[in-house]
Amino acid sequence: MIDVIASETLKARSIRSTRTLLACSGAAVLVGSLMALISAGAWDSATPDERSHFGGLGDGTSILTVVQLCLMTFGILTATSEYSTGMIRTSLVAVPVRRQLLLGKAAVVAATSLLAGEAVAVATFFVSRLVIGDRPIGSLTTVDTGLPVVLAEGLLMMVIALIALGLATMIRSTAGTLVTMAVLLFALPMAPRMLIPAPWSERIAAVMPSELASQLAGTESTLSAVGALFAMAVWVTASIGAGLAAIGRRDA
């Protein structure tokens, strides 16, 4: 299994899109600090009445959604790049036990997305707060309230990347998986609130992947932190399990 992980690490490093996506993720720190700088300038020039309902560009941490999408795409391309080039046949010859191949990919995606996600999230938060200073801009105004939120966001990036990997292995199409993930992250959380009466609407929406970071950090209370972690584990297990079932029964 160690050899499989080493091989998948080499593959990930050799794909140009990996370097591009990780570079874009790192650039989010600069973009977030720029957003914070613009917000700080707008705050300083605002009148007292404008400050009472100040919005601006926030504290810069909203850029983490873009990082989430970058790492999600990394998870997708880890699977679909081999299908699009036909290299999946070579990989299956080298690793005939197919579940080991996917689990090796999952290990690489998990480690890369967790390290990149946490590093970018924490750096964006601290740099943005350094720029904003003591101005009351954004909701993450202190380390005590902000750090748990950005750490939870970094963990969610890994979860979403693994979900994307499992679905990409099952769908075998970059575009198809991107659309599926967009529906899962953005459309499904809204559907219960529009179609199902309370309180079940909030309970169903609470277990959607995009809603779990805030509950893990304690800023939302529908699920406990343990419940949010359990929901993350269920999503990852289900998606990787679907990928294992697909890769095990289908030809390359």
Give the integer Cα–Cα distance in Å for 14 and 57: 36
Question: Among 55, 65, 60, 56, which residue's Cα sits nearest to residue 33?
Answer: 60
Q: Which helix (H) or strand (E) holds 52?
A: helix 48-52
Whether 167 shows a pLDDT value over 80: the answer reads yes
Alpha-carbon distances, residue 129 vs 72, 117, 120, 149, 188 (angstroms): 26, 18, 14, 14, 32
d(CA 252, CA 64): 35
Averaged confidence pLDDT in the chain: 86
Residue 182 in tokens: 């967009």
State percent of the chain over pLDDT 70: 96
Residue 57 has pLDDT above 70, yes or no: no
At residue 94, the pLDDT reads 74
- List the single range of 7-16, 48-57, 182-191, 198-207 with lowest mean pLDDT: 48-57
User: Is 70 exceeded by the pLDDT of residue 85?
Assistant: yes
Quote the tokens at residue 175: 């575009």
pLDDT for position 246: 85
Q: Dihedral of the CA atoms 183, 27, 61, 190 (nearest 10)?
A: -10
| Percent residues over pLDDT 90 in the chain | 40
For position 49, what pLDDT does the model report? 77
The reported pTM is 0.90
Residue 217, amino acid = A
Q: What pLDDT does 26 receive? A: 92
What's the pLDDT band for 181 if we cut at 50, 70, 90?
Answer: very high
What is the structure's pLDDT at 4? Answer: 78
The whole-number average pLDDT for the span 167-196 is 88
Radius of gyration of the chain (CA): 20
Give the pLDDT of residue 55.
66
How many other β-carbons are positioned within 10 Å of the β-carbon of residue 174? 18
Q: Which whole number is the average pLDDT over 104-123?
A: 94
What's the pLDDT score for residue 250?
67
What is the reported pLDDT for 200? 76
Asked if residues 117 and 154 have their Cβ atoms less than 8 Å apart, the reply is: yes
Report the C-alpha gap between 19 and 39 in whole angstroms.
Answer: 30
Question: Residues of 124-148 as b/e, b for ≥16 C-beta within 10 angstroms?
Answer: bbbbbbebbeebebbebeeeeebbb
Mean pLDDT confidence for 211-230: 87
Mean pLDDT of 55-77: 86
Tracing tokens 């805030």 back to the chain, one arrives at 214
Q: What whole-number distance in Å separates Cα of residue 211 and Cα of residue 154?
A: 13
Question: Residue 62, Cβ neighbours under 10 Å: how many?
Answer: 15
Distance CA 37, CA 111 (A): 32
* Residue 43: pLDDT over 90: no
Q: How many other C-beta atoms can be found within 10 angstroms of the C-beta atom of residue 19?
A: 12
Q: What is the pLDDT of residue 56?
A: 63
Q: Looking up tokens 């720190």, which residue turns up?
A: 29
